[in-house]
């Protein structure tokens, strides 16, 4: 039995849960999320909590049990609290600004790079920190990854766009490498 899968998902007040045949729809103050369920998994809602059960002990059902429970838990957390990813701009002349609901990045290319915000995602820029927020964890993470992919951090000077909590492994440059081989 999955340690994560057997834990119930507690539903806070103000969150509405709908279970159809193979669809879970969760509605809260921030929005509505829905997810299709695989055939091997069964979801039961009673007494203010969701229990995720597997129909058999097959390999597929076992591997999906904890995953589906975590996804449903993330849906509940998203419609109540929301999710945030923060990115940091590192580099001389690098800038970001919010234009409407989109973000415009000036990161060393000959043109500004514009990234459109999908529905339910907001951008905010303070100094050199870009904040991506929304109620769907998958979408927020993907948009943050798309922003980072515009100019990933390079290992020599660390210039680029990185997650705030990310640690860049730095490499010595050519001059440092030449000194060590001569000595």
- Residue by residue, DSSP assigns 43-69 as EEEETTEEEEEESS--HHHHHHHHHHH
| Number of domains, the chain | 2
Please check whether residues 96 and 159 belong to one and the same domain. yes
- Predicted local confidence at residue 177, as pLDDT: 66
Whole-number pLDDT of residue 181: 67
pLDDT the model gives residue 175: 78
Per-residue model confidence as pLDDT tens digits over 20-76 = 888 999 999 999 999 999 999 999 998 899 999 999 999 999 999 999 999 999 999
Residue 172 pLDDT grade (very low, low, confident, very high; cuts 50, 70, 90): confident
> Is the same domain home to 37 and 21?
yes
Is residue 169 domain-resident?
no
> Does 115 have pLDDT greater than 60?
yes
Query: 91 with 158, same domain?
Result: yes
In this prediction, residues 82-88 reach a mean pLDDT of 97
Tell me, yes or no, whether 107 and 130 share the same domain. Answer: yes
Quote the longest CA-to-CA distance of the chain: 73
The pLDDT of residue 166 is 92
Residue 94 and residue 159 in one domain? yes
Examine the domain organization and report whether 73 and 27 are in the same domain: yes
Higher pLDDT, 103 or 175: 103
Q: How confident is the model at residue 94 (pLDDT cuts 50, 70, 90)?
A: very high
Residue 183 has pLDDT above 80, yes or no: no
Q: What is the pLDDT of residue 174?
A: 81
168 inside domain: no
Has this prediction a pTM greater than 0.85?
Answer: yes
Establish if 170 belongs to a structural domain.
no
Q: Are 135 and 31 in contact (CB under 8 A)?
A: yes
**71 in the same domain as 51:** yes
Average pLDDT of the segment spanning 101-109: 94
Q: Which domain holds residue 110?
A: 83-163
Contacts of 22 (CB under 8 A, 6+ apart): 36, 37, 38, 39
Question: Which CATH number does the domain housing residue 42 bear?
Answer: 3.90.930.12
Residue 180: both structure tokens together: 């060590």
Q: How many CB atoms lie within 10 A of CB 167?
A: 7
The answer to whether residue 17 is domain-embedded is: yes
Among residues 64, 80, 96, the one where a domain terminates is 80
- pLDDT tens track for 135-170: 999 999 999 999 999 999 999 998 999 999 999 999
Q: Is residue 4 part of a domain?
A: no
Domain match, 71 and 121 both: no
Decide if 181 is inside a domain: no
Residue 1 domain-assigned? no
């Amino acid at each position: 039995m999955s340690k994560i899968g057997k834990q119930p998902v507690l539903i806070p007040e103000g969150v509405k849960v709908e279970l159809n045949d193979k669809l879970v729809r969760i509605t809260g103050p921030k929005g509505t999320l829905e997810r299709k369920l695989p055939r091997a998994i069964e979801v039961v809602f009673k007494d203010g909590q969701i229990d995720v059960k597997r129909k058999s002990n097959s390999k597929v059902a076992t591997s999906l049990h904890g995953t589906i429970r975590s996804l449903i838990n993330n849906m509940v957390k998203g419609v109540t609290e929301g999710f945030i990813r923060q990115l940091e701009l590192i580099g001389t002349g690098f800038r970001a600004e919010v234009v409407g609901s989109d973000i415009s990045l000036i990161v060393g290319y000959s043109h500004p790079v514009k990234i459109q915000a999908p529905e339910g995602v907001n951008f905010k820029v303070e100094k050199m920190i870009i904040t991506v927020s929304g109620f769907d964890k998958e979408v927020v993470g993907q948009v943050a990854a798309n922003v980072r992919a515009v100019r990933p951090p390079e290992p020599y000077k660390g210039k680029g766009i990185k997650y705030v909590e990310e640690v860049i492994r730095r490499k010595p440059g050519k001059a440092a490498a030449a000194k060590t081989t001569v000595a």
